[in-house]
Structure 1
Amino acid sequence: MSVDVNTETTRSGQAVQGPEGQGVFALCPDEVTRAEVKVCRGSVSLPVLNPDRMRAAKAFADKAVKMHKVFSVQGPYPVIRAALRARGWVERRKHSSKQPLHHRQAEDSRASSNDGDDSDDSDDNSDDVEKDQDPSRLHDIMSRMVRNEMVYFFWTSRREAINNNNLQKEQITNHFTKAGSFTTKVGLCVNLRNLHWFDSADPDTFFPRCYRLAARDEKHAFIEDYRRTACISLLKYIVERDQGVPRQEISHIIKTVRGQRKQSKRRSTPVVLPQMISIALKVCQDFLESREHTDIDISLETPQTLKEEEWAEFIDSYYLVVHGGAEIGSGDHSVSCCKAMLQRLREVSPQLDIDGIHNIWIIKPGAMSRGRGIKCFKRLDQILRLVDHDPTLIKESKWVVQKYLERPMLVHGTKFDVRQWFLVTDWNPLTVWFYKKCYLRFSTQPYSLDTLDSSVHLCNNSIQKHLRPSQRRHRGIPADNMWSDDQFRTFLSSQGQEAQWETVVVPEMKKAVIHALQTAQDLMDSRKNTFELYGADFMLGCDLHPWLIEINASPTMAPSTPVTARLCYAVQEDTLRVVLDRRVDRTASTGDFQLIYRQAAVEVPQYVGVNLLVEGYAIKCPCPLPPLRSSNCAASKPRVPVEKKDPEAKKVKPLPKRFLKNAETQPKNTSSGVLPPPPVSSEQPGLMSTQTFTLYLPMSVNKSIHTPASRQSHSPLLWKRRAEVPKVRPEKV
């Protein structure tokens, strides 16, 4: 066996550059020696550490502990590790697990369904990068030196890895709790409906309408929306067919019904276009009246526009005309009516231009990522059948249906979406940082509505990277399906739309992000020393207006393409500039992060718990209270003793039974009109006893009942007679 030893030496003040510029990690100030031992039957690296190097590593670790610079990274984030080490931080690793960390991360992300995590390329990362950056195991040795020290900075790919309730005040972490309120499709769908409580903006202007199919009321609302959209699509089809608009989505409609692969079984009569137009106009008119609140005077007994059977027949006719390409004719009067109605609808429906004519909806699992389970449908029965067949999805409310943008902006005839980063450093006050750079993701197939395949309509890199680009796609789109924002701005310049990037796209994306965070602010944990980086996905309409599709927690940072390798490296570096460097120096550079929103701080009252206390004093009386006397008695007349009983009073008939409720509990002397004196405490004379009693009296009893027995009447209708109140002169009173 032959051994070849190569030694490399660096002097004080130098640093070693990581492979391919992936980071710089500082070494100890003393002379560092690295020995590589190569064995003939395979290459084996055995680090040789001298005592000077061990002492320098120990001093470096002790200094990091003293300055509270111990961090922990769970997941393949070589840029974060290198950036922290360059700032003098030491990592505390977990050495007990034998399974590579990236495999555990991939399994956890597949099992987790709490966040809309879009870790597209988690399988592209491995710990081999860390081994290359630390061939001498210097950082591994320092990690063991701080294995019992407190971690002051956590960076993980999953929020469940750390319990924020157990963190100390000075510990920093990169995940907020309860972020599913806006990072899941269900949470974003529900919370944006409450935007009117936080801002005057309308969510329909930046978020395609969305429904939870598991909720019964929302399912009914979706069915109504689908039917109404079918009516509007029919009006659009009539107008565009008459104008001869050369749109791509109606190019395949110039066919005959004979060539269609499937016909509806319920169609037994030919299409009656005037009747269909009349129904569509009536449905749209009812919708306008409901939006303008002019339908409040309509009687509830008024029948609906169409019954279920009539709706089924209309939808089948709509499929036959728009999807089937049936040859129809229309008069000038019908076209003018359709144009007028569409003009009125455009004033109240901001999504009219993106709906198209095919009534396509996209079905999404509520809490899954990387485009898994997403499908596009254009028929109502298919959408309902997909959800109804799985009772688990109905129970857990996991499915959402969202209106598909049928008329997006295309680049060389290909669909794309925009990945935009933003950073939240505080929830009270809400503080949002917007990243100036972004990138585009293309699909591998040219855009077409003839097929609803995922390769055409989904731009997720986790889906498109496994597909081969179509030969029919424009050559100007790269094979890796990505563009930077600079490349896109160059394309806009060639189309004469460069100015709209700064005037339309960027400002509207900022507003959409802020509105989404405003609706979730009350649901989030406002723990200090916490931050989180999010990735928002946008689509652009034909007018370059951005539409928010979803927000992802833990966005992918894998360098899968040259575009992401450059931008993901920069966004991680700039995140640490905002989070760490600005804590020391407020004037420090924040890179490409721009502060776009900082809310005024809201004081939260300190919760001290419930502390109920009743205080009082004992009532002292020198003698028992005298018995109550009737108000009808003269003040000069003596009080009738309680013991004395008038024989004439026995002739008085008792009160009716409805007035003698719980007669057993009443004192026996209540019939004489004198209440018994309260009992006196035997322990302390002069003090009233704490015993209580209840006196049941009729609400309409005559006052004469309370007079002395000698003045009571012997009439059997005593309880019905009115008392004779003696007239007393005021001066004598």
Structure 2
Amino acid sequence: SYYVVLLLVLQPPLHRSVPCLPAIKLDRIRAAKVLVEKAVKLHKVFSVQGPYPVIRQALRSRGWVEKRLPRPLHKPRCQSPGEEEGEEGEISPDAADVAEEDEKEESRDDMTDLMSRMVRNETIFFYWTTRRDTIDWHSLRKDQMANHYENAATFTTKVGLCVNLRNLQWFDSADPDTFFPRCYVLGAEDEKHAFIEDFRRTACTSLLQHVVETQDKEAAQSGSRSRCSVESGIIETALRVCQEFLIDLDHGNIDRIAQSSPSAEEQQWADFLQEFYLVVHHGAEIRGADMFAERCLQMLTKLREVCPQLDTDGVNNIWIIKPGAKSRGRGITCMNRLDDIIALVDRDHVREHRWVWFLVTDWNPLTVWFYRECYLRFSTQPYSTKNLHSSVHLCNNSIQKHFQPSKDRNPALPEDNMWSCAQFRSFLSGQGREGQWESVVVPGMRQAVVRALQTAQDLVIPRRASFAIYGADFMLGRDLRPWLLEINSSPTMACSTAVTARLCPAVQRDTLRVVLDRRANPNAYTGGFQLIYKQPAVEVPQYVGVNLLIEGASIRKQKAVQKPPVSVSASAPVASVPLMLSQAHPVQRTGILPTSPQCRRLSLSHPSTNTNFSASHRFTLPHTALDGQYRICPGLTLQKPLPSIEVFSLRTNVIARTVPSRKPNFHSIHSSAQRKQLFLLPYVQSERK
């Protein structure tokens, strides 16, 4: 028997997990229905994921209705050592960042929730998301717009930008070293070796600059000497390495033979770097350095012609180590010792300032819009190459907001460490350099952006209805020449300072003016965006639905078949008659010397010099008329094809010899020639059997 026991527990009713819509007046429901019907008819249904209230408001003002999607869950992801964080260089914020941005998202309205429910089964025609992988690209229709492109990691990650800019020579005559710092992917072994070479060579050039810069200082302080000193051989080594580098640029190292073993060379480099650290980092003195100052200056002059970044390298040989796909300055360190950098790479696999916005509306043809305004960021501490702390060298607002401004900093800088471009132009005007903003800074940034996109154009998957806004980070040198650091997809639009509170909403509104208003009206106002580059369109051939079919058979190696030797004999009497080439006439191939599996040779000899020209191959020779007798020479073979050479003036007597497989028929030779020809053979020395 089976007994069933029922346990009844009295408890209050459970609350519904889905909130009920509040009561809405009937007239508002009718108005919402009218708006929804019109939006659906005009394909104006959009979806925004992320804290973009400006985008939502701008779309609704244009008659668009939002279809709210479930908020994606931000789950921590386990990463393999070689995998990059994030997707295609997009911002991958941590939980604290997500919570902070979600708080800034606008509160929901009853009408917007109602209209969102009305269009829950409708197709979305405009996507604006923070991450590209939230969109199912394979199911998108051609008229559905999205704010991302597939495979944009070719230029929005540090690794992609580093690798692809090396191919700039195929798209532009510019040298990437003039606007992009030397960069290496230390996770790859070949890149790691290239970086070690570059670090050592930069140490040599830095030492030469140190000798030149300290010459006058040592003369002024001749009475005081450093407690630590090194031999002058370190300068000789640096000069030799720089000279070899110049030779290598001219490909003069092709026939060079290694003078020492790799292990001995590694030890020499280790000793050199230790002495370099003593001199540059710890102030050690080089004995007799003043004797090399002139040679160092001459070598630096030669290097400056071929090394655009020589002046920016300085004397401390400082390198920036950045994770492959992290944003907001996370994980960035500055180092000036090779062993420390290599140890960091081996310990934690290094995988892989945002100032300028630009918009890409098409990749075929490549169409780039550049925003007229930008902002500049500063650090809270004075710049110094002796202090490698992040508060000195990282200008990200997420880093600098944790530090108090130094009292030694320029008092003109604001407390929020950010200037607009108008404020920076005013600062340059006070120094008499206002014109350099339009003549140096802006053109340099535009050229760098376009060149970076050109190198990635063939790798990004184009889509007519897509667009993307990117943020480019630049660093300005003392000469105001901009250096491209990286390009970020989905740049943050957070209003963290007074400058970004004005610029970020303007950028979002102007983006919609370009991608929406300009579609309906080519002359529509585009705000701060300016079209700086557009290629001629390249027509893509229409797909006709024909499947490609390739048929064939595998190639097999044929087995060599050894044939028995062939004996040739002649029954006619042997006679020799001189042949005047001036009497030679071309004749048709009428069966004389027919093609056969056996080989033949034709030999021409000059009587006066007794020089033989012979060659061998299977072929059918054209023949010339012979006056008189002929002779047969058995036992010759033919191995090589014969080129033909036309001769129009023949004055030499030549003996013609041929070895047919059977007695030739000279009765079919005729003399209906229009011009004289002689078929010469390539010289192949062979012996008769």
Unmatched 5+ residue regions in structure 1?
1-43, 246-250, 259-269, 401-416, 615-655, 661-696, 703-716
Task: Please state how far the C-alpha of 1:476 moved relative to its aligned partner.
Answer: 2.2
Q: Aligned with 2:251: secondary structure?
A: coil
Report the equivalent of 2:326: 368
| C-alpha distance in structure 2 between counterparts of 1:724 and 1:512, whole Å | 74
Task: Please state how far the C-alpha of 1:451 moved relative to its aligned partner.
Answer: 1.8
Q: 1:351-398 CA deviation, whole Å, 9 max, x = no partner?
A: 0111110011111111222222211111001111111124xx3xxxx5
Counterpart residue identity of residue 344, structure 1:
K
> RMSD between aligned alpha carbons?
3.2
Report the equivalent of 2:118: 145
Match among 559, 563, 569 for residue 659 of structure 1: 563
Report the equivalent of 2:265: 307
- Superposed, 1:110-121 pairs within 5 Å as 112-118=85-91
Q: Is the 2:323–2:332 Cα contact (8 Å) retained in structure 1? A: yes
Match among 72, 75, 81 for residue 50 of structure 2: 75
| C-alpha distance in structure 2 between counterparts of 1:430 and 1:502, whole Å | 24
Q: Aligned with 1:538: secondary structure?
A: strand
Structure 1 residues 577 and 105 mapped into 2: Cα distance closer, same or farther (>3 Å)? farther
Report the equivalent of 2:524: 588
Counterpart residue identity of residue 221, structure 1:
A
Task: Please state how far the C-alpha of 1:214 moved relative to its aligned partner.
Answer: 2.1
- Superposed, 1:94-493 pairs within 5 Å as 94=69, 97=70, 101=71, 104=73, 112-118=85-91, 123-126=99-102, 129-131=105-107, 134-135=108-109, 137-244=110-217, 271-273=230-232, 275-296=233-254, 298-301=255-258, 307-330=265-288, 332-390=290-348, 393=349, 399=351, 417=353, 419-493=355-429
Normalised to the residue count of structure 1, the TM-score between the two structures is: 0.69
Counterpart residue identity of residue 75, structure 1:
G
Q: Is the 2:361–2:467 Cα contact (8 Å) retained in structure 1? A: yes
1:565 aligns with 2:517: no
Counterpart residue identity of residue 537, structure 1:
D
Structure 1, 65-74 or 106-115: larger mean CA deviation: 106-115
Q: Is the 1:205–1:350 Cα contact (8 Å) retained in structure 2? A: yes
Q: Aligned with 1:144: secondary structure?
A: helix
Task: Give the count of matched residue pairs.
Answer: 546
Q: Aligned with 2:375: secondary structure?
A: strand
Q: Aligned with 1:399: secondary structure?
A: coil
Report the equivalent of 1:62: 37
Report the equivalent of 1:688: none
Task: Please state how far the C-alpha of 1:117 moved relative to its aligned partner.
Answer: 2.9
Report the equivalent of 2:27: 52
Structure 1, 326-335 or 586-595: larger mean CA deviation: 326-335
Q: 1:319-338 CA deviation, whole Å, 9 max, x = no partner?
A: 11111111345454411111
- Superposed, 1:492-507 pairs within 5 Å as 492-507=428-443
Q: Aligned with 1:528: secondary structure?
A: coil
Task: Please state how far the C-alpha of 1:302 moved relative to its aligned partner.
Answer: 5.0
Structure 1 residues 323 and 470 mapped into 2: Cα distance closer, same or farther (>3 Å)? same
| C-alpha distance in structure 2 between counterparts of 1:61 and 1:239, whole Å | 74
Q: Aligned with 2:322: secondary structure?
A: strand
| C-alpha distance in structure 2 between counterparts of 1:208 and 1:224, whole Å | 16
Task: Please state how far the C-alpha of 1:473 moved relative to its aligned partner.
Answer: 2.6
Task: Please state how far the C-alpha of 1:130 moved relative to its aligned partner.
Answer: 1.9
Q: 1:549-587 CA deviation, whole Å, 9 max, x = no partner?
A: 000000000111111111000000000000000011111
| C-alpha distance in structure 2 between counterparts of 1:490 and 1:93, whole Å | 45
Task: Please state how far the C-alpha of 1:108 moved relative to its aligned partner.
Answer: 8.5
Q: Is the 1:114–1:184 Cα contact (8 Å) retained in structure 2? A: no
Report the equivalent of 1:554: 490
Counterpart residue identity of residue 432, structure 2:
G
Q: Is the 1:106–1:122 Cα contact (8 Å) retained in structure 2? A: no
Structure 1 residues 171 and 215 mapped into 2: Cα distance closer, same or farther (>3 Å)? same
Task: Please state how far the C-alpha of 1:75 moved relative to its aligned partner.
Answer: 0.7
| C-alpha distance in structure 2 between counterparts of 1:449 and 1:572, whole Å | 38
1:725 aligns with 2:677: no
1:90 aligns with 2:65: yes
| C-alpha distance in structure 1 between counterparts of 2:20 and 2:415, whole Å | 38
Q: Is the 2:39–2:45 Cα contact (8 Å) retained in structure 1? A: yes
Q: Is the 2:600–2:660 Cα contact (8 Å) retained in structure 1? A: no
Q: Is the 1:61–1:146 Cα contact (8 Å) retained in structure 2? A: yes
Structure 1, 457-466 or 195-204: larger mean CA deviation: 457-466
Identity among equivalent positions (%) equals 57
Q: Is the 2:47–2:66 Cα contact (8 Å) retained in structure 1? A: yes
Report the equivalent of 1:522: 458
Task: Please state how far the C-alpha of 1:543 moved relative to its aligned partner.
Answer: 0.3
Q: Is the 1:109–1:158 Cα contact (8 Å) retained in structure 2? A: no
Report the equivalent of 1:676: none
Q: Aligned with 1:195: secondary structure?
A: helix
Q: Aligned with 1:440: secondary structure?
A: strand
Counterpart residue identity of residue 136, structure 2:
N
Q: Aligned with 1:434: secondary structure?
A: strand
Counterpart residue identity of residue 483, structure 2:
W
Q: Is the 1:119–1:556 Cα contact (8 Å) retained in structure 2? A: no
Report the equivalent of 1:669: none
Unmatched 5+ residue regions in structure 2?
1-18, 552-559, 565-595, 602-634, 638-658, 671-689
Q: Is the 1:363–1:399 Cα contact (8 Å) retained in structure 2? A: no
Counterpart residue identity of residue 62, structure 1:
E
Q: Is the 1:119–1:370 Cα contact (8 Å) retained in structure 2? A: no
Q: 1:33-70 CA deviation, whole Å, 9 max, x = no partner?
A: xxxxxxxxxxx999552111111111111111111111
Counterpart residue identity of residue 28, structure 2:
R
- Superposed, 1:584-733 pairs within 5 Å as 584-607=520-543, 608-612=545-549, 658-659=562-563, 725-726=662-663, 728=665, 730=667
Task: Please state how far the C-alpha of 1:450 moved relative to its aligned partner.
Answer: 2.1
Counterpart residue identity of residue 398, structure 2:
S
Structure 1 residues 149 and 290 mapped into 2: Cα distance closer, same or farther (>3 Å)? same
Structure 1, 138-147 or 364-373: larger mean CA deviation: 364-373
Structure 1 residues 278 and 479 mapped into 2: Cα distance closer, same or farther (>3 Å)? same
Task: Please state how far the C-alpha of 1:289 moved relative to its aligned partner.
Answer: 1.4
Q: Is the 2:85–2:92 Cα contact (8 Å) retained in structure 1? A: no
Report the equivalent of 1:267: none
Counterpart residue identity of residue 659, structure 1:
K
Q: Is the 2:86–2:92 Cα contact (8 Å) retained in structure 1? A: no
Counterpart residue identity of residue 232, structure 1:
T
| C-alpha distance in structure 2 between counterparts of 1:318 and 1:387, whole Å | 22
Task: Please state how far the C-alpha of 1:430 moved relative to its aligned partner.
Answer: 0.1
Q: 1:294-335 CA deviation, whole Å, 9 max, x = no partner?
A: 444x43355589811111111111111111111345454411
Q: Aligned with 1:602: secondary structure?
A: coil
Q: 1:449-482 CA deviation, whole Å, 9 max, x = no partner?
A: 2221111111112222233333333332222221
Structure 1 residues 325 and 301 mapped into 2: Cα distance closer, same or farther (>3 Å)? closer
Counterpart residue identity of residue 117, structure 2:
R
